[in-house]
A and B are shown apart, each in its own frame.
Chain A
Amino acid sequence: MSAPAPEPAAASSGLNAAYIFKKSLISALVALVLFSLMIGIRTEAGPTGQLVYWTRFGDLALMVAGVFGGSILIELLRRWWGPVTVTRVVPASVQTGLALARRAIAPLLLIFTVLVPVIFYDQRYILDLGILVLTYVMLGWGLNVVVGLAGLLDLGYVAFYAVGAYSYALLATNFGLSFWICLPLAGILAALWGVMLGFPVLRLRGDYLAIVTLAFGEIIRLVIINWQSLTGGPNGVSGIPRPTLFGIPLTPGDNGLAAKLGIEFSPTHRIVFLFYLILGLALLTNWVTIRLRRLPIGRAWEALREDEVACRALGINTTTTKLTAFATGAMFGGFAGAFFATRQGFISPESFTFQESALVLAIVVLGGMGSQLGVALAALTMIGGFELFRGLDQYRMLVFGFAMVLLMIWRPRGLIGHRAPTVFLKHSHAISSDLVKEGHG
């Protein structure tokens, strides 16, 4: 009668303990089943070819106990650091500091990138890696227009990269046109192909669009392989001219840049030049995208991603909206392709496989669709990370895949999952992705 009622908190914690225990027990059981053969029994071929095996029950027990203890620990950590209390754990001052840091990250990153050739002048490897990362940043920003802004899932983006690369390679080797003339031509040609892809897929959405764009990427690659007389087929195109600084070649000769400036020639000059070239191209992509987002056409792209029916109800011309998105994205892909060709000096169809499309798409998705900074960070992580884990040999892909899974669990909208509005009354607010409904593609 007078027995005190159990406190709700105690009751729930008791329940929690039972729940955690049960969950960990299940994990341990799964671990036991999995590891009993993998770790419990070790097999080897004996000296005469027969099967030799011995048991390692000690290791197995250790493993299962580890899983049991680990899952209790993880569960407890989740309770303490769960989403409800996360604001209380992190003090307000730290949070404002983090917000400041977040705002400063883009300019700091840019300043650092500009200084990379100065800091790492002697390290050719870092410079090459930087150029590679920037190429993917540019490709990511280009694809971001199509996938991130307009919401058109394009699995064949590499096709435009290829068109740009081959445009420059063929125009330069056959007609001797300079890089600076070919660059816009490559962009225009790629954009033209973008429109050509756009027309048949105007009525397609989501999965169907993805399949057709995937096929388009393959078609371009197969045409390049088989049209031997023009493209050289699988042998590719070699001897592609290097870019010049507005007509001044970066060569050791008398009319080279080094001679004109009166400094000693170094092959690093060309690498540094290429670095700044791709940085400029990438920043151009970024600038154009940001500008377009504030114009009606950019707004229409984003609206198209949100709701095509509503767009039509508002009288938006969905045909031109889609085609301009394809063309703009393709144009930047073409620029990047021309750069790729001039950097490598040699291109072959092998550089333009589906894996490239998938990689660029992964950069866009991981970065947070539509976020410029997110795409840049994702490119840095993916390409840089790839190199970082080179020492792990065949485990590289495993680490990579694991990291991707974790990222998608914790940040399902990508590294930077919010989108900044482009129309303001007074000032902008970034709204967390948590408040935003899932879009439909």
Chain B
Amino acid sequence: MTAQPLLTIRALRAAYGKIEALKGVDLDINRGEIVALIGANGAGKSTLMMTVFGKPRARSGQIIFDSRDITDVPTHEIARLRIAQSPEGRRIFPRMSVAENLQMGADATDSSEADRATALERVFTLFPRLKERMTQRGGTLSGGEQQMLAIGRALMSRPRLLMLDEPSLGLAPLIARQIFDAIRTLNRQDGLTVLIVEQNANHALRLAHRGYVMVNGLITLKGTGSELLQRPEIRAAYLEGGRRA
């Protein structure tokens, strides 16, 4: 009767060589939900996101997407299931034009021309700035525009799950807010499911329906966004005490 989560992670472990980055993580993302994953540097947030994508491979545990076990599925196959990610540091293609960057997002999935056109239209209504800069090189965009491009590129595959790694990294607060607004719009209007990994806990938890707190490769706290925002330990660790928020 209860709807199955879109993504289920159970007892997930992953390591870089001998250094264990994930030590048994459980996490659920329901359809149409924004889930925030917060934590300090090196807590394993990005690793969790990458492991869902199969790089690095999970040592043990399970990742289930839409009732299919994707723990051992090759990375490019996972992308075909229409899970998209915008990696940390944006990583757009600097010498390619904005239009080419966007097309790259659709290339890995079997998108028809019509699908591409629809997705492109959606990206342009969301980020009109990108349309103005269609022929410009990715490397000549400002930081905020590059982030828009990175998200737009991920949206080109018309994802069912969008994973964003630190979308506010290195952006002016005003631009960061625009990015968060766009994510909210996508969630409300398109019903897009979003996993957002952030150090900017204040913004992320306000945006998210639910949040997870990660410390040293383990989930230590979970709850709704507003619940977590109220927790004194969260306030002490991530919102006050000199951390930018």
Q: Could you tell me which A residues sit within 8 Å of B by CB distance? A: 296, 299-300, 302-303, 306-307, 309-317, 419, 421-425, 428-429, 431, 435-437, 439
Partner of A315, one of B80, B91, B96: B80
B87 touches A419 (CB 8 A): no
Residues of A near B104 (CB, < 8 A) are 299-300, 303, 311, 314, 316
A314 touches B139 (CB 8 A): no
A314 touches B95 (CB 8 A): no
Residue contacts A-B, CB under 8 angstroms, 7 given: A296-B103, A303-B104, A307-B94, A309-B91, A313-B86, A316-B108, A317-B74
B135 touches A424 (CB 8 A): yes
Task: Give, as a whole number of angstroms, the nearest-CB distance from A40 to chain B.
Answer: 51
Residues of A near B80 (CB, < 8 A) are 315
Interface of B is mostly: mixed
A315 touches B103 (CB 8 A): no
Partner of B87, one of A306, A310, A422: A310
B139 touches A437 (CB 8 A): yes
Partner of B97, one of A307, A311, A315, A423: A423
Residues of B near A435 (CB, < 8 A) are 137, 139-140
Q: Which of B65-118 touch A at CB < 8 Å?
A: 74-76, 78-80, 84-87, 91-97, 99-100, 103-105, 107-109
Q: Mark B42-58, 1 if CB is under 8 A from A, else 0.
A: 00000000000101000
B135 touches A437 (CB 8 A): no
Interface of A is mostly: loop
A315 touches B94 (CB 8 A): no
Quick one: which of A299, A300, A312, A431 has the most chain B CB within 10 A? A312
B75 touches A312 (CB 8 A): yes
B107 touches A299 (CB 8 A): yes
The closest CB in chain A to the CB of B80 belongs to A315
- Contacts known (A422-B100, A423-B99); A315 close to B76, Cβ less than 8 A: yes
The closest CB in chain A to the CB of B153 belongs to A314
Residues of B near A424 (CB, < 8 A) are 99, 135
A436 touches B137 (CB 8 A): yes
Q: CA A314 – CA B154 in complex, angstroms?
A: 7
4 closest A-B pairs by CB: A315-B79, A315-B108, A310-B91, A306-B93
Residues of A near B137 (CB, < 8 A) are 431, 435-436
Partner of B94, one of A299, A312, A423, A437: A437
Quick one: which of A313, A419, A425, A439 has the most chain B CB within 10 A? A313
Question: By the criterion of a CB under 8 Å from any partner CB, how many residues of chain B are at the interface?
Answer: 36
The closest CB in chain B to the CB of A311 belongs to B104
A421 touches B93 (CB 8 A): no
B103 touches A423 (CB 8 A): yes
Task: Give, as a whole number of angstroms, the nearest-CB distance from A304 to chain B.
Answer: 10
- Contacts known (A421-B135, A422-B100); A315 close to B78, Cβ less than 8 A: yes
Residues of B near A437 (CB, < 8 A) are 94-95, 139
Q: Is B157 an interface residue (CB 8 A)?
A: yes
B108 touches A314 (CB 8 A): yes
Residues of A near B75 (CB, < 8 A) are 312, 315, 317
Q: CA A311 – CA B101 in complex, angstroms?
A: 11
B135 touches A425 (CB 8 A): yes
A306 touches B97 (CB 8 A): no
The closest CB in chain B to the CB of A425 belongs to B134
B79 touches A436 (CB 8 A): no
Task: Give, as a whole number of angstroms, the nearest-CB distance from B7 to chain A.
Answer: 16
Residues of A near B135 (CB, < 8 A) are 421, 424-425, 428-429, 431
Q: Mark B156-167, 1 if CB is under 8 A from A, else 0.
A: 010000000000
- Contacts known (A299-B104, A303-B104); A313 close to B91, Cβ less than 8 A: yes
